[in-house]
Structure 1
């Protein structure tokens, strides 16, 4: 096994362990046993448990966010600029495409996203600053252009609820559960299309509460 194979095996195992157990619940002893390596190999390639997890996040999140920005820029380059539908599609579809594995829904990826948003405050803040601060600002700015006239507070609330809808749709995976008639949870493309439509309607239809 060469060094590249070793590093990749460690990252793939870390992804699965994190999805199943979270950061605190991931034992480096169990992870190394599962990956077929020793602790020295993890220390050599990554230096620490947190550095390993951060590299795993980086490998998943950075290409995803780059694709989101690419699609947003393409939408903004259209005559008349980007519509709200195009903006949310650029934000959502790359994630749903990643959740659609070659053999069906990528459960590990979906669980990993859920774990990220349930970490302790300090851990989540570090993740958000490194991977999501700039992305959020970029998309909120695009929404402000597409839907002018909203106060900063109103835009912030609506964007917050839109992100909540995205995460809920992505994480609620019950292919054989109750109340799922007519819903194919394995079709991530269709789920994304329905969600974009729902989010845009809610975003435009939300009434600001009385002061």
Structure 2
């Protein structure tokens, strides 16, 4: 007997609405899709009706997209499809609030970023920023994921990125390669090419054409647990 689809009390939007639509068109229940993911049968019902979880895990999203025959981007929030400067540095007298973005930059093989919404802030002394040469920087904070930049950057470290437009120079940057956000040392590798280098020598260099990579910002500070 075919299971009746439960419609949420509130009209879903974005990827929730698209997932519900696709499940109805394909004639497959949300419970069955949840089980496909190895989740409990109510998992996707909760996602659509109550927004819990807030967003689908990358692996779950990829599995659903393959099964339903659509591009993965159809099941992402709009802001997940591109890195956005979701927050702006805010002045508060002698202090400057820097947004912490809900996104990780891989220091491993790379990953597709999640939501870029600001969920918190770091507060820095305006004097300290000036001492670091960052008084005019366009700063945001994100988390390092993976071990390829160890010992310089460790998994879980939070880094400040200066997204101010400026001429490129070699250094540690957050970059986008395809749909993947990474933190790497970026160095010139001849005309029209750059090398993405890891600090951990277990990871080989990656050389790409300049037009294949987008430099999001320069890493200017790090913080993490001792």
TM-score by length of 1: 0.30
> Which one scores higher on RCO, CA 8 angstroms, separation ≥ 6?
1
User: Comparing both structures, which one devotes a greater share of its residues to helix?
Assistant: 1
TM-score by length of 2: 0.28
Larger Rg: 2
